[in-house]
Chains A and B, each alone.
Chain A
Amino acid sequence: MTDTIQPVSIGRKQAATAWSRPHLSAEEARTAIRAAGVALLDERRPLTSDELADLAHVPDASVPSLAALAHEVRLAWCGDTVEVEGILSAKTGGCPEDCHFCSQSSAFDTPVKATPFLDTDEVVAAAEETAALGASEFCIVLAVRGPDERIMRRILDLVPIIGDRTGLNVAVSAGILDPDQARRLAEGGVHRYNHNLETARSYFPEVVTTHEYDERVDTCRLVVDNGMELCCGVLLGMGETVDQRLELLDELREVGPAEVPMNFLKPMVGTPFAGRPAVEALEAIRWIAVFRLGLPSVILRYAGGREFTLGDLQAMGMTSGINALIIGNYLTYLGRSPADDLKMLDDLRMPIGALSPVI
């Protein structure tokens, strides 16, 4: 019998994230976090890849300190405003691509049934729902490899109608673009175009076999070159290593997005990644903080999987570097109630508004 408190293991099994080097000691972590604070807050210079790698390796006990710095950096670089967005899957399922996490791929036998492009009235009604929640951005998402001419016309019809009826900025996610399509979307008033890198270049072949990483990078470049804001997201928890998460962060810093949605894998029945373990909540907080510290001026958005991964820790993400969120439901599954998110922002005294990238 001893009178010291012994830890008792409860809760979910630790997701197996592969670390290629040991964690820093507590003292090394304090030094690394302090140095990052000086760089980002006093010198206002971006961190190097090596500095970010050190921060990614702080011990679990230092994650709250890392998160606190990420929050301070977000306030210093972006202010306290939170950007709220609603998203709509306007054409669901039947996608010819084989992204192994996705329930909308026709390569896998999933519960999601393919449905055609929604009517204009339905899309506008969803945008109105979004506006009523106080959002400033509405994203029309289509499960396609890239837009064909019919889809291009529908998008170009919808964008001004939604803008006029709701006053929302309209974003679009319609896959791989060619230069002419990127130009037409920009001219047609698309404010932001979403095209995710999802994972590291070196892990991408494990995730997608029907297109190349460079096709994604090329579309991201076209978005920026045509003057649209680039929204370029990540999906953590697919089995990538820590080094690959850092590689992805470097890749993102290269393409220069205005917004980075942070998704965490919610394993989908019938997909090859159905059995992957959840990202642990504290790991999610660590990576939110590391991505904020690597991308200090970006709009870092809470996106899919936060209910699954973070559960009750969602408010902590908001003080770990996040400054935007998707409100309400996602594309094929539901989010927590908008009232809960709005109350969380109110409790944290974070005002809602539109954000633009810091030039």
Chain B
Amino acid sequence: MIVAEPKSLDEIKAMVDGYDRVLMVGCGTCVEVCLTGGERSVNLTATALRLARKVDGRDIEVGEQTVIRQCDFEYLDEVKDADKYEAIVSLACGVGIQGIARKFPNTPIFPGVNTTFMGFNEEYGYYTEMCKGCGECILHLTGGVCPVARCAKSLLNGPCGGTNNGKCEIGSDKDCGWVLIYNKMEQLGTLDKFKEINAPKNYGKAGNIRSMDLRK
């Protein structure tokens, strides 16, 4: 799922500084699952914003809504009364934020979260990045561990000289992706393949302005 982290209240407050009526819209899918953009987050953030403005002596009206997904127009149809507000703060990932921006072309849209990565839901409140969306998956060659996402340098052949007792040189709290790959392949009995050199990837596939058309 897509993971996002809350933006600081200060940032949100600064963004909507010029407005007195804003609508805060949550997304009930990925960002709700990572406890950042669901109905509860909308309510807490909206309340906090309202109180912060009150402290400044300027009231602000904050509407609250949460839709199933902000990355689908049909679900965005559920956003009601947007025209009653001067601006929209979206607590969806960047995709959803842009979705709502397209849905309401005349309303300024502000992001209420920072979209961070595609991650795994490890346990309550803890998520780890697993995939970079490189467009050319090689997990079959690397024991089911992604070197692009889980090696700090995205090395296709590793580890590098910075590997340190299973940890990455960028920090002792980070596993070395290539040690993970080695261990997994050892477990699978495919270490012979470990020595094979992985060919360079076509990073063009990870480039911008990507789309997919399955309509044919």
A binds B: no
Task: Please list the residues of chain A having a beta carbon within 8 angstroms of any beta carbon in chain B.
Answer: none
Task: Please list the residues of chain B having a beta carbon within 8 angstroms of any beta carbon in chain A.
Answer: none
